[in-house]
A and B are shown apart, each in its own frame.
Chain A
Amino acid sequence: MLPPRPGLDMAAGYGWVQSTAIRAGELVFVSGVVAIDAESGERLNGTLTSEAHRAFRNLRLVLEAAGSSLERLVQVRAMIYDRIEYDALNRVYRQYVPQGPPARTVWSVRIIDAFKVQLDAVALA
C-alpha cells in the first residue's frame, strides 16, 4: 500500500527498507507506526501519552487508505519502551478501540530513534 500522507513514507523520508503496509488477500499488515508528523515526517518524540495518540492517528490514516479501519484491527503488537508505562498506554489505547478491541500483546522493548511507542498491526481489509 502507498503511504496516505507524505510524512508517513518512511522509505523516502528515512531510508527504511519497508512498505507502509502490505495487503495480502483479506488482511492488511502494517509496518511499525511511530509518532511522526504525517505531513512533514518530522519525529514528534514526547511523552508516552502524546506519542501513543500520534501513532494511533497515523495508524488510522494507513488503515483507512487501505480500505480498512481501527474497527477492523485483528492483532496489535503495542511496543513500549518501558513496562512502567503500561497503564498510561492502556488509557490512550481504549479511546481508539473502545468496542471489541483487537487481540494484543504489549512488548516492552527498545524502539528506534528513542520513540516510546510503536504499533505493529494486522487488520482485515
Chain B
Amino acid sequence: MPVAREIIEPKNEKLNVSRNFNLPHSPGIRAGDLIFLSGMLSTDPHTGERSPGTMAHETRQTLTNMRHLLESAGSSLERVVKLNVLLYDMLEFENMNAVFKQFFPVDPPARTVCGVQLSAGMKIEIECIALAG
C-alpha cells in the first residue's frame, strides 16, 4: 500500500499564492507523516498581494501565513521539524532571528539560513518540513 500523497492548501484562498499567481507548484504536499511546504513570501492575507516591508515585518507575516497553512492541514508551527530561510542579505540575520524567537520560544526546529537572490524585491522566503497533525 503506497503512502498517500496529498496536496495541502490554505483555508484562506488569498494565501494560495501558487494558484493566484499561476505558478507550477503546490502550497504544500503531505507525504505520509510529513508535510513539505513550498517557499513562502510575505503575503497580505486580506488582499493576496505581496506585502513587502522591513525584515521584521516580512518575517512576521510569512511565519503567520505559514502557521495558517500548517493549521489548515491539521499541523502547527510547534510541529515544524526543519526550516530553510532565504534572505536577500545576510546583514539582516539578526532582524530575522529576533522575530523567530517570538514564534519559536522553546525547542525550535532545525534551521538553515542562506543569503540568495529573491523575487520581486522581497527580503525573506521560508520553506519548511513539519510533522502532520
Contact = CB atoms under 8 A, between A and B. Distances in A.
Interface in B14-32: 18, 23-29, 31-32
Nearest to A73: B29
A105 B125 contact: yes
B119 A83 contact: yes
Given A75-B36, A124-B32, A101 B26 contact: yes
Contacts of B29: 74-75, 102-103
A27 B31 contact: yes
Nearest to A108: B117
A105 B86 contact: yes
Contacts of A86: 119
Contacts of B18: 101
Nearest to B129: A75
Contacts of A25: 32
Contact of A74 (B31, B114, B117): B31
Contact of A94 (B5, B24, B28, B37): B24
Interface residues of B, number: 29
Contacts of B114: 107, 109
Contacts of A27: 31-32, 34
B43 to A, nearest CB: 15
Q: Which of B24, B39, B86, B125: most chain A Cβ within 10 A? A: B24
B25 A102 contact: yes
Interface string A84-111: 0010001001100100111111111100
B36 A108 contact: no
Interface in B77-128: 84, 86, 114, 116-119, 125, 127
B24 A26 contact: no
A72 interface: yes
19 contacts: A26-B32, A27-B32, A74-B5, A74-B31, A74-B34, A75-B29, A75-B38, A75-B129, A102-B36, A103-B36, A103-B127, A105-B38, A105-B125, A105-B127, A106-B39, A109-B117, A122-B36, A124-B2, A125-B3
